[in-house]
Amino acid sequence: MITLYSYPTLFGVADNNGYGLKVFAFMRLAGLPFVHEHIFDASAAPRGQLPYVVDSGETVGDSETIIVHLISKYRLTIDAGLGARERAQNVLVTRLLDDLYWVMSYSRWKDDRYWPAFRAALMREHPSLTEEGLVKAREFNFQRYHFQGIGRYEPDAAYARGLADLGVLADLVPASGYVHGANPTSIDAGIYGFVANIYFYDIDTPLKQFVSSRQNLVRHCAAIHDRVMRG
């Protein structure tokens, strides 16, 4: 049995981090049975980062590495129909989502306009959390943002990056079906992981305003959400 370790739920999504939700959605779309363990403490994880999986005693971290591992070990066919051009496009979109991650995280922990609502939601849904612990987590994230670079941006400039990323996704995601056709593939799981963590949040950031204004992004997110939450 495979066990997925990732961050807890928030606002109705299975993981409040885009990377963990990507892996969760991928495994559900691929039809893999697994146990989902929600944790906050990533100290025992590979590289100290969530998500990771334990698969028959083997520990695998990093969302992309996990997906490659699962496809290879279980001979999954979810991406079998993709050609070289589509696979190259997937790499580009995955890197774009890496950029979007930082802006999305910034909107929660760094921006003083939205931090109180995010903090309140975490404490409401996860009573074990403390004010002191969240302040320490916020300070830690401030350090991460500074060294990554996004923390040196003013809010409008930070959101401009994220909105540019979302604009590319809005041009890529079709009005019906999925990115590469009638059936979802791994890149749809990746897009869902991040868009769902914007769209379903009850916090009206510029990122959410953009997603909500693009019907194709909303439709795609809702379609994947319905499939993966049904199991």
pLDDT digits (tens, 9 = 90+) for 94-112: 999 999 999 999 999 999 9
* Domain housing 181: 84-229
The structural domain count of the chain equals 2
CB 88 within 8 A of CB 182: no
My answer on whether 115 and 170 are in the same domain is yes
| CATH number of the domain to which 53 belongs | 3.40.30.10
Q: Clarify whether residues 204 and 152 are in a common domain.
A: yes
Q: Residue 88 domain-assigned?
A: yes
Q: pTM, whole model, 2 decimals?
A: 0.96
Residues 58 and 119 in one domain: no
- Is 79 within a domain? no
Give the separation between CA 177 and CA 69, rounded to whole angstroms: 26
Do 190 and 20 form a contact (C-beta atoms < 8 A)? no
Q: What percent of the chain has pLDDT over 90?
A: 96
For residues 68 and 103, state if they share a domain.
no
90 and 198 assigned to the same domain? yes
SS3 209: helix
- Asked whether residue 41 falls in the same domain as residue 102, the answer is no
CATH number, position 159: 1.20.1050
When pLDDT is cut at 50, 70 and 90, the band that residue 44 belongs to is confident
Residue closest to 70 by CA, chosen among 97, 51, 89, 83:
51
Task: Give the type of residue at 111.
Answer: D
